[in-house]
Each structure stands twice: as C-alpha cells, then as structure tokens.
Amino acid sequence: NAGVTQTPKFRVLKTGQSMTLLCAQDMNHEYMYWYRQDPGMGLRLIHYSVGEGTTAKGEVPDGYNVSRLKKQNFLLGLESAAPSQTSVYFCASSGGQSSYNEQFFGPGTRLTVL
C-alpha cells in the first residue's frame, strides 16, 4: 500500500514550457486535491476533485489545469510556466462523506521555473 505518490519529485522548467504533474493514490479515495506551498504562505488549494471525471477550482487556480480521468489519478498541468509558479506542489486524497475526513499527502514535487 503506497498511499499517495507523486511524480516527478523535482523539475526545472524554463518560462513558457509546459509540464504535467502526476498524482496517484491506492486507497480508493473519492476526493483528491492539489496544493502549492510557498515560504511563509502555508498551503493554498489549487484545484480539487470530488470524484472520477469531476474537477473544481480552489483558491489559486489561474495558470493550472487538472484532469481526473481515473479515480486513482489526478493530473496537474501547467500550460505555460511562469517564475511565479516556482513552488512545492502537494497532492492529497481523502475518503468519502464523513465529518472527519483526514487527508493523506504525497511527498511533494519541487518545481523551479527559470
């Protein structure tokens, strides 16, 4: 049981390049989330999904797109990377309808945009 995995772990992009971050979970969770973490800013929600085939905008969605074609995978895309997107990206997942739905986090992807 691997939990939540993210690939890649590190990436360096040039401004204007595109990339996709992959998140996979093997806990059969309905909900998945993408966050970014910047120094002194805590966690900010980018996009989330409440089930296969659904996505929704979070707090800071601009410049990112997501897809959830399979229940276990949640992809985060950057179509045209900008230096402001330099950050550490975390994927998380959580279970079904419950009032105490803890989130399980991946190890993170450290992205640098030059």
Give the sheet arrangement for strand 4-7, strand by strand: 4-7, 19-25, 73-78, 65-67
Q: What are phi and psi of 84, to 5 degrees?
A: -65, -10
By the rule CB under 8 A, 32 interacts with another protein: no
Q: Judged by CB under 8 A, which stretch of 16-24, 66-74, 75-83, 89-97 contacts another protein? A: 89-97
By the rule CB under 8 A, 101 interacts with another protein: yes
Q: Which is nearer to another protein, 21 or 106 (by Cβ)?
A: 106
By the rule CB under 8 A, 1 interacts with another protein: no
Whether the CB-CB separation of 67 and 51 falls below 8 Å is answered with no
Whether the CB-CB separation of 80 and 18 falls below 8 Å is answered with yes
Residues that bind another protein (CB under 8 A): 4, 31, 33, 41-43, 45, 48, 50, 90, 92, 94, 97, 99-108
